[in-house]
Structure 1
Amino acid sequence: MIPQGSKNSRRKPDSTDKLTDGLFSGVLAIFIETGVSRKRLQVWQRRFEDLGGTILTAAANLLGRVDQIIILAAHEAALSKGINFDRLGSCPNLNFVQFRWVEECLKDGTLLSYEPFLLSASQDEHILSTDDSRLDAQSGPQSDQLYVTPALAIVPDGDLRACSEVVNEKRYDEVSEECTIDTKFKAICEDDMPDYNKHISRPLLELSEIYSDVLADEWRSLTYRKVANKLDRLPYQILSADEVKNIQGIGKSMVDKIKEILCTGQLQKLFNLKASSQVQIMQQFASVWGIGPKHALKLYQAGHRSLQDISEDQTLSPMARVGLKYHYDIALRIPQSEVSEAGSFVRHVLEDLCPGASIIVGGSYRRGNATCGDIDLLITHPDGHSHKGLLGRLVTKLEEAQFLITCPNPFTENITHKVNTYMGICKLPQYTHHRRIDIKIYPKQAYAFALVYFTGNDVLNRRIRYLAKKKGYKLSDQGLFLRVGDNKTGMASEVSIPCETEEEVFQKLGLPYPEPHERN
């Protein structure tokens, strides 16, 4: 039976509580599709039945039952759209609960109380009301046919009163557009991508980062990253290494590592690498702006063991020497107020140099974070041509104003799309510390895509690129390009689908638009 009691009550697991022995034994369920993706719903249904649950799919299954009913929905908006409340007066023991109850049961491995997951009590009051005047006002011919659809009315092992009129015929296959600030980001980033297995994927991602950022082993890094991404996309919690044996791309060695994490809560290989003096020293070298993992390895192999050692190495590039000189400052977080002042400083210089140019401070500053790692400035001009050749002139003016520290070879240019980038060091006159700064100048037609990309965050960027690929597009900071042929091997068009604003980019992908401060 479904547990009752306090909000935090949890039934003590016994042998029958193990997922392999039937977590949902004795639970009857109707899965409502409103507000949840079909793929995710299908996996839930399969998992639910595998763990002993019974899915009700026809009104006949409900006849004559009188015990408690729990109907689950993605959110209140989905509940109100998917159910005709006025026809539920004959179901007195009715509760409406979030789908998250199912997710948390799978995560916890225990049949939890549903009380912490109840939807608004006002819904219950509305549903259970038997006010005659309200019923009379709504009486009369009803054109809508009613039926029970795969949804979740979770029922204890027992009876359930006839509720064949629970769900209106109209179906909603897509996530509701009525997204709140909290649900907009989740609608993009969590659909088909729950986080049941972060405790497994996180150590694997840490290994991936050490191999790529420190040991310069891109092949091993990619292997661990791919497996971690596969685990992150599973809509259920892995409780046994046997469950991943048949997943493509996960071999015996990786299965053994997953088993170790499940059994011990850690990964010895990761522990050993992080404790290694070589890795720690190379991490320190690679943290210097201008020194990559391959160069860090060469410096270590040359016998260097400290930043003081490498300062005397003749193989350091001019950029690395600048990075080493300001290493302490660059490592510090930048207060939001200082980032704002830096943006204003550049804006004033830009207005004199190129009237009408647009400049936006991107990155975590634009998302509203209190501190930032560096300063990202994105510039364009609405006339479509004044941006050309602007970066060199702007950098010269900023160096003359002693805002930018002169750096060797700070420019890069994308020849194909004419995106110009300056990567260097800056310092406001009234501040003590030097800061990392990137200035990027885009043509007008690419600016909306650049704003999306360089506002972030990384999770959102990965997710929308993934969704774009599924829809047959390639999304980058320079445009949205239609793919010709297979998504994996097909070539992307060289002409971007035009989008004037960030809102249009999300609209073209069929996604709700999150404001910058909603993207953390």
Structure 2
Amino acid sequence: MALVPLKKRRRAPSPPAGPPGPGRFPDVVLCLVEKRMGASRRAFLTQLAWAKGFRVDRAYSAAVTHVVSEQNSGAEVAQWLEQQREECGDGGDPALLDISWFTESMGAGRPVEIESRHRLRVAELAPHGRQMAPYACQRRTPLLHSNQPLTDVLEDGVCAEVERVKLSERYRTMKLFTKIFGVGVRTASRWYQEGLRTLLDLQERNTKLTRQQQAGLRHYGDLNTPVERSEAESTSRAVQEAVKRFLPGASVTLAGGFRRGKPRGHDVDLLLTHPEEGREVGLLSRVVSWLDSQGLILYQHSQENSYGLREGPEPLGGRDVMDRFERCFSIFRLEAQGGPGAPRGWKAVRVDLVVAPVSQFPFALLGWTGSRHFERELRRFASRERKMVLNSHALYDTRQNLFLPATSEEEIFEHLGLEYVPPAQRNA
């Protein structure tokens, strides 16, 4: 049997050793980032640029004016640039550009003008010359801020196309239906396709509704009226009274936007726990039953705790583990607080009761405080920068393959290497 010689692996060509001179554009010196671009493509693009009269340096130096990258984020290129500066000891402030600028310049045969769409987005400069952190969880975002006049002006702006959509029958109908407790976009869209347009249509045509949707339709007006802080605090006191009846020492914490300092919201989130692990088991059903017997609950649906510590928590982007605590979705009958929203003497208010074991309580408190954007950024930071998985139950270090315990929110931030951000500063 004849021996077949092994096919030699083709080596990626390297860029030429140095530029063939200053080129046609002496004020422009390019440096192509090889990461994700690859050596072969980098060599090809270098030859192309030289053929067009551009100077391309193989390595970064203080002479470089344009850093071109492909499929890298602004933060990644900025980090690469810092590494190059440490190695070569050179300064300079080159433009960090996407490959689109390079492609357009090659097509034009000259350096095209740099537009905002060409620039890679990196950390911006905050007032007083400080660098603005790239993650929302690294920034403090109060309800009232120094840019309020500017943002107010921007919020008042209008777009003709947006206004046209808002006036369309489909938009108005979808917005009306999705405001019903228990109705999502898919159900609202189906009802629209069936020719339903109003809340009265749902009633007159005997539309099949779930028990949750029936309650949502019945109390539509109240549930779409903002919940005032005084109402949220009154609800919290009522639940606290019930909790003390069955489990002295247990605590009730007002979370959500109210914990961030908001004066009103769309519902009330309350976290229940006990300082002794396991004592909280069975508490929720007794509390809900007692509140129901007192005529304080108009609707309730409970779910059991389905979370279990296995080898590690679910990865980022998996099922929303916030809903895996023992939890009760409810509508409370709240005595009127003297406001115009409850002329009959009481008001229906959406309330979520969530029970967390004390070992998971700091993570639950952090997750349920929000804002949604702040939490998303915090988990993204944990995943990308720390190789950890953070959810409302735990913090897991994937490199060490272990859970990192915490007795407070401050300890969670410490594990992540972040400065603690108090609730009132999480309104991103």
Same fold (TM over 0.5): yes
Q: Is the 8 A contact 1:188 1:463 kept in 2?
A: no
Q: Could you tell me how far 1:479 is from its partner in structure 2?
A: 1.0
Q: Could you tell me how far 1:435 is from its partner in structure 2?
A: 0.6
User: Paired residue for 2:129?
Assistant: 99
- Hey, what's the Cα distance between the residues in 2 that align with 1:447 and 1:322? 30
User: Paired residue for 2:291?
Assistant: 398
Distance 1:299 1:38, change over 3 A: closer
Partner of residue 196 from structure 2, selected from 293, 304, 309: 304
- Hey, what's the Cα distance between the residues in 1 that align with 2:224 and 2:305? 28
Q: Could you tell me how far 1:438 is from its partner in structure 2?
A: 0.3
Structure 1 unaligned segments of length 5 or more: list them: 1-36, 53-72, 76-96, 104-173, 176-182, 190-194, 204-264, 486-492
- Hey, what's the Cα distance between the residues in 1 that align with 2:182 and 2:325? 21
- Hey, what's the Cα distance between the residues in 2 that align with 1:38 and 1:290? 42
| Residues paired across the two proteins, number | 286
Distance 1:382 1:314, change over 3 A: same
Distance 1:401 1:508, change over 3 A: same
Partner of residue 460 from structure 1, selected from 371, 374, 383: 374
Q: Is the 8 A contact 2:136 2:373 kept in 1?
A: no
Q: Is the 8 A contact 2:140 2:421 kept in 1?
A: no
Alignment pair present for 1:475 and 2:390? yes
User: Paired residue for 1:427?
Assistant: 333
Q: Could you tell me how far 1:457 is from its partner in structure 2?
A: 1.1
**Secondary structure in 2 aligned to 1:303?**
coil
Amino acid at match of 2:416: L
Q: What do you get for the CA RMSD once the two structures are aligned?
A: 3.8
Alignment pair present for 1:292 and 2:184? yes
- Hey, what's the Cα distance between the residues in 1 that align with 2:299 and 2:372? 30
Q: Could you tell me how far 1:391 is from its partner in structure 2?
A: 1.1
User: Paired residue for 1:237?
Assistant: none
User: Paired residue for 2:306?
Assistant: 415
- Hey, what's the Cα distance between the residues in 2 that align with 1:514 and 1:462? 15
Alignment pair present for 1:442 and 2:333? no
TM alignment of 1:63-82, pairs within 5 A: none
Distance 1:446 1:279, change over 3 A: same
Alignment pair present for 1:332 and 2:246? no
Distance 1:464 1:331, change over 3 A: same
TM-score by length of 2: 0.59
- Hey, what's the Cα distance between the residues in 1 that align with 2:394 and 2:325? 12
Q: Is the 8 A contact 1:188 1:511 kept in 2?
A: no
User: Paired residue for 2:426?
Assistant: 519
Q: Could you tell me how far 1:484 is from its partner in structure 2?
A: 6.3
User: Paired residue for 1:47?
Assistant: 95
Q: Could you tell me how far 1:290 is from its partner in structure 2?
A: 1.1
Q: Is the 8 A contact 2:137 2:378 kept in 1?
A: no
Amino acid at match of 2:208: T
Distance 1:48 1:314, change over 3 A: closer
Distance 1:39 1:366, change over 3 A: farther
Q: Is the 8 A contact 2:243 2:283 kept in 1?
A: no
**Secondary structure in 2 aligned to 1:360?**
strand
Q: Is the 8 A contact 1:184 1:514 kept in 2?
A: no
**Secondary structure in 1 aligned to 2:331?**
strand
Q: Could you tell me how far 1:465 is from its partner in structure 2?
A: 0.7
- Hey, what's the Cα distance between the residues in 1 that align with 2:358 and 2:392? 12
Amino acid at match of 2:379: R
Q: Could you tell me how far 1:48 is from its partner in structure 2?
A: 8.2
Q: Could you tell me how far 1:303 is from its partner in structure 2?
A: 1.5
TM alignment of 1:7-18, pairs within 5 A: none
Amino acid at match of 1:507: E
Distance 1:365 1:188, change over 3 A: closer
User: Paired residue for 1:506?
Assistant: 413
**Secondary structure in 1 aligned to 2:404?**
coil
Q: Could you tell me how far 1:286 is from its partner in structure 2?
A: 1.0
Q: Could you tell me how far 1:424 is from its partner in structure 2?
A: 1.2
Q: Could you tell me how far 1:444 is from its partner in structure 2?
A: 1.4
Q: Could you tell me how far 1:510 is from its partner in structure 2?
A: 0.8
- Hey, what's the Cα distance between the residues in 2 that align with 1:282 and 1:184? 31
Give per-residue Cα distances to partners, 1:74-113, cap 9 Å, x unaligned.
78xxxxxxxxxxxxxxxxxxxxx8337x99xxxxxxxxxx
Give per-residue Cα distances to partners, 1:153-179, cap 9 Å, x unaligned.
xxxxxxxxxxxxxxxxxxxxx99xxxx
- Hey, what's the Cα distance between the residues in 2 that align with 1:388 and 1:267? 54
Q: Is the 8 A contact 1:363 1:455 kept in 2?
A: yes
- Hey, what's the Cα distance between the residues in 1 that align with 2:188 and 2:168? 15
- Hey, what's the Cα distance between the residues in 1 that align with 2:378 and 2:179? 29
- Hey, what's the Cα distance between the residues in 2 that align with 1:438 and 1:382? 21
- Hey, what's the Cα distance between the residues in 2 that align with 1:39 and 1:360? 43
Deviates more, 1:39-48 or 1:450-459: 39-48
- Hey, what's the Cα distance between the residues in 2 that align with 1:310 and 1:461? 37
Amino acid at match of 2:325: V
User: Paired residue for 2:174?
Assistant: 282
Q: Is the 8 A contact 2:302 2:326 kept in 1?
A: yes
Q: Is the 8 A contact 1:184 1:512 kept in 2?
A: no
Amino acid at match of 1:426: F
- Hey, what's the Cα distance between the residues in 2 that align with 1:376 and 1:416? 19
Distance 1:300 1:382, change over 3 A: same
Give per-residue Cα distances to partners, 1:448-496, cap 9 Å, x unaligned.
01111111112211110110111111111111123369xxxxxxx6x63
Distance 1:402 1:39, change over 3 A: farther
- Hey, what's the Cα distance between the residues in 1 that align with 2:78 and 2:171? 40
Q: Is the 8 A contact 1:474 1:481 kept in 2?
A: yes
Structure with the larger helix share: 1
Calculate percent identity across the aligned residue pairs: 25
Q: Could you tell me how far 1:343 is from its partner in structure 2?
A: 0.6
TM alignment of 1:198-213, pairs within 5 A: none
TM alignment of 1:188-207, pairs within 5 A: none
Q: Is the 8 A contact 2:363 2:391 kept in 1?
A: yes
Amino acid at match of 2:280: H
**Secondary structure in 2 aligned to 1:440?**
strand
- Hey, what's the Cα distance between the residues in 1 that align with 2:303 and 2:174? 27
- Hey, what's the Cα distance between the residues in 2 that align with 1:302 and 1:184? 42
- Hey, what's the Cα distance between the residues in 2 that align with 1:267 and 1:499? 50
Q: Is the 8 A contact 1:423 1:438 kept in 2?
A: yes
- Hey, what's the Cα distance between the residues in 1 that align with 2:287 and 2:382? 35
Q: Could you tell me how far 1:282 is from its partner in structure 2?
A: 1.4
